Amino acid sequence: MSVVLSVKKLQFTYYGEKIFKNVNFSLSEGNLLFICGLSGHGKSTLLRLLIGLEKPDSGSIRIFNQDINQLPEDEFNRLKSRVGFVFQNSALLSTLTVENNLKLPLVYHNLASRDEIEEMIENTLEKLLLKEHRHKFPGELSLGLQKRTAMARAIITNPSMIFMDEPTTGLDSISRGVYLSLIENVRILNNVAMIMVTNDLLIAREMGGEIGILKDGILLEPMAYQQLKNSPDRFVQALLEEEKLRSA
Amino acid sequence: MSVVGLLSKLGIIVQRTYFGKIVILSSAIIGSAFYKQGNQRASFNTFIGQTFFTGVEAIPHITLLALVVGAITILQAVTVMPKIGGGDALGGVMVAVVNRELGPLITALFIAGRTGSAMSTYIGNMRVMQEIDALKAMGINPLHYQIMPSFFATLLSLFGLTMIFNLVAIFGGYFIVWAMMFVIPGIFTAQLSISLFIEKIFVAMSLMDFFIGTLKPLIFGGLISVIACYHGMMVNSDIRDVPRATRATVVRSYVSIIIVDLILAIPIMLQLKDKIMI
């Protein structure tokens, strides 16, 4: 399996505080990686660095073997059409309908003809159970539907990799279950590599994949949930303890 | 210090000022129109939406405003001018007051309040709601998709609205006064036939008037949209920044428009300097 993302010696300072001292990890095609940790430890910031919304102090981020901080802006923009990003608050364009939110990246990057775009939108809406909401504006949707629309927008370009920031925040248990199973379907059917930032280890346990814990500006070596349980690290054990309490 | 060193130091100082930032943003917006990135259709949709909001939806307000301003100007002119021996100068007054000054100025101030505030609030909210980040994450340049089309839409709309204002103020205003002459006979001492009125307007209109009348709305439109976009983009994730950006947009647009209007009055004054009598 080829590596789609590799991060090496990443350092980042935010308002004078060293958020990342030395972050190293990689992600292969079709794999799932959870980034967990306490609030305010820079989980979302790491995703923002990966998509170029923030610039690192040093280190390299290579997506599909291209260093994103060395790429010219228009090349990086084209590369981003192969990467999906789902924001914690969905960040849908409020003046566009669900359909037009999905259409925008396809039209802007000239990824398909007009007929193909219609077909892609139709399929994606069907996949995420959004067909009856296609003409609604984001403000008219529930939180769960907004999250599904954001997911639909992220997958419409057939990306090879998707970054998701706290995907289940604010969802009730039923919507959460539906949403996670839709994500899992998309991931398996399209063989998409995914990075999911969460402070909910329960999701990581349910969905499988590897878990990387952010601690003191360093990402601990990603490992499966079962391995994590045997970790001698007291911080990891404290997180697991918290997860046990939450699930109980 | 060498001249190049001095100039570069001056450049650094200027770019840190508000004026410098506005100039840099303006250049970036205009530059992005000539630099092909992404499909133009996506940006064109934003342009159409913004033109509809700024231009088309403002027509009723501008028409009403123009009628009132035109009527007031003609009323004052036909009552005051004959008394000071300038009864024949009615056309000149209308061209000078409405076409050169009131038309572009009132339309620009109205649009700064209506569109400028809306634009900075909208972009500010896009920043807070991470919509701008979402565009960037999708590889869509917000400057190209959102800001550049809004800029050109404001330019076009303000130009169109100013032309509408001038026409309605001059002719609509005339008809209101004309109608008043029927309602209250003998109210005015001056003659006010339509053919004479139009003739006076055309005699008074110079090439410079036409040029300034075209240039002013374009400059004001550019100023309003760049100031609005600048303050909108300066909003961080804090929702309290949005009303601050709106306030700054309206205040700074008003001040900038009036200062630029004064600067643009200088070439007209220079052209007419031989005719100025005090």
pLDDT grade for A123, boundaries at 50, 70 and 90: very high
Question: Which of A78, A85, A107 lies at the smallest CB-CB distance from B137?
Answer: A85
- The pLDDT confidence band at residue A176, using thresholds 50, 70 and 90, is confident
B236 close contact with A: CB closer than 8 A = no
Residue B277 scores a pLDDT above 70: no
Weakest mean pLDDT among A75-79, A95-99, B230-234: A75-79
pLDDT (average), residues A29-54: 91
Whose CA is closest to B56, among B115, B113, B14, B105? B115
Enumerate residues 6+ apart whose C-beta is below 8 A from B268.
Answer: B100, B208, B209, B212
Please give the average per-residue pLDDT across A114-142, as a whole number: 94
Q: Residue A192: how many CA atoms within 13 Å on its side-chain side?
A: 26
Among the ranges given (B8-17, B40-49, B238-247), the one the predictor scored with the smallest mean pLDDT: B8-17
Q: For an interface test with A, give the residue of B32, B41, B50, B131 to mutate (most A CBs within 10 A).
A: B131
Q: Which of B104-108, B158-162, B266-270 has the lowest mean pLDDT?
A: B266-270
What mean pLDDT do residues A28-41 have?
A: 89
Which of left, alpha, beta for B188 (phi over 0: left; psi -120 to 50: alpha)? beta
- Beta bridge partners, A17, equal A14
Please give the residue that has the higher pLDDT: either B80 or B134. Answer: B134
Q: Of the ranges A83-87, A185-189, A212-216, B17-21, which is most confident?
A: A83-87
Contact between residue A112 and residue A67 where contact means Cβ atoms under 8 Å apart? no
How confident is the model at residue A216, as a pLDDT?
85
Distance (Å, whole) CA A45 – CA A171? 22
- pLDDT reported for residue B187: 61
The pLDDT of residue A234 is 82
Quick check: A147 pLDDT over 90?
A: yes
CB neighbour list of residue B139: distance below 8 Å, 6 or more residues apart = A76, A77, A78, A79, A80, A81, A105, A108, A109
Query: Which residue's structure tokens are 């130091």?
Result: B9
Q: Which of B74, B81, B110, B119 is nearest to B257 (CA)?
A: B110
- Name the residue of chain A whose CA is nearest to B144's CA: A108
Q: What φ, ψ does residue A164 adopt, rounded to 5°?
A: -125, 130
Whether ipTM > 0.90 holds is: yes
CB atoms within 10 A of CB A197: 22
**What value does the mean pLDDT of chain B take?**
86
Looking at residue B19, its amino acid is: F
CA A14 vs CA A39, A203, B15, B102, B253: distances in Å: 15, 29, 25, 50, 33
Determine contact, residues A207/A180, Cβ cutoff 8 Å: yes
Confidence of residue B89 (pLDDT cuts 50, 70, 90): low
Pick the residue of B32, B41, B138, B148 with the most A CBs within 10 A to test the interface with A by mutation: B138
- With contact defined as beta carbons under 8 Å apart, do B249 and B228 qualify? yes
- B52-80 confidence digits (pLDDT tens): 999 999 999 999 999 999 888 888 877 77
In this structure, are residues A195 and A202 in contact, taking their beta carbons and an 8 Å threshold?
no
Q: Chain A residues with CB-CB distance to B under 8 A?
A: 48, 51-53, 73-74, 76-81, 85, 87, 89, 91-95, 104-105, 107-110, 153
Q: Is the pLDDT of residue B278 over 50?
A: no
A196, A87 Cβ separation under 8 angstroms: no
- Between CA B8 and CA A236 the distance in angstroms is 53
Which residues of chain B from 152 to 211 reach within 8 Å of chain A, CB to CB?
none
In the predicted model, is pLDDT for residue B124 greater than 80?
yes
Could you tell me where the beta strands, DSSP code E, fall in A15-153? 17-28, 32-36, 58-63, 66-67, 83-86
What residue ranges do the domains of chain A occupy?
88-158
Q: How far apart are CA A212 and CA A200, in angstroms?
A: 12
Whether residue B88 is predicted with pLDDT greater than 90 in this model: the reply is: no
- pLDDT at residue B189 tops 60: no
- Side chain identity at residue A140, one-letter code: E
CB contact under 8 A, A107 and B125: no
User: Which of these ranges, B96-100, B198-202, B271-275, has the smallest mean pLDDT?
Assistant: B271-275
pLDDT (average), residues A210-230: 88
Q: Is the dihedral of CA A106, A109, A110, A111 positive or negative?
A: negative
Task: Determine which of B21-30, B186-195, B211-220, B231-240 has the lowest per-residue pLDDT on average.
Answer: B186-195
The answer to whether the Cβ–Cβ distance between B39 and A74 falls below 8 Å is no
Q: How far is CA A83 from CA A121, B9, B135, B204, in A?
A: 17, 42, 13, 63
- The pLDDT of A29-40, averaged and rounded, is 89
Q: Note whether B39 contacts A110, CB cutoff 8 Å.
A: yes
Q: Select from A104, A132, A133, A135 the least CA-distant residue to A120.
A: A104
